Amino acid sequence: NLQHIVVSILAAIVLTTAILYFIEAYKEYASLKENAAEGLDGEISENQIEITLFAGSGIIYLGLLGWILVKNLKSIVPYSILIVISTILIITYAASRTIGVPIIGIEFYIGKYDILTKILQGIIIAISGYLIYRIRTNKKKMQQHETKKKYE
């Protein structure tokens, strides 16, 4: 079934995105240790916030991955949440590179993982939207079929 294949592809992309966020959290932790050793207190709080954001995002994506694998194509809720979370993370990233975000300010560095996660999140949004459409379409077809059987 094509939809099951699409769910599997989405699951792989969500897992990859979670792993990338954990890698970013680890890199920030390494920076935190360096900044602590050098006594750069202002940088330490920024590192802590970024570690929390990256690790939290990875954990959320893993939780949603589990939900998708359990529910598969029975509910649009995990796919809807994926769209919302991915959109928020893309907007937060864009804001951090343009207008700045509270505490951290404007970030000027754009890394390869930054770009890769944003591309993957865009794909997550697109695939999740497609799956929501298919789930709703299939439910309508089933309801029409059941109604038709009732009157036969």
Please report which confidence band the pLDDT of residue 146 belongs to, taking 50, 70 and 90 as the band edges: low
How high does pLDDT run on average in the chain? 88
Query: What is this structure's pTM?
Result: 0.85
DSSP the chain: -HHHHHHHHHHHHHHHHHHHHHHHHHHHHHHHHHHHHHT-HHHHHHHHHHHHHHHHHHHHHHHHHHHHHHHTTS-SHHHHHHHHHHHHHHHHHHHHHTT-BTTTB------HHHHHHHHHHHHHHHHHHHHHHHHHHHHHHHHHHHHHHHT-
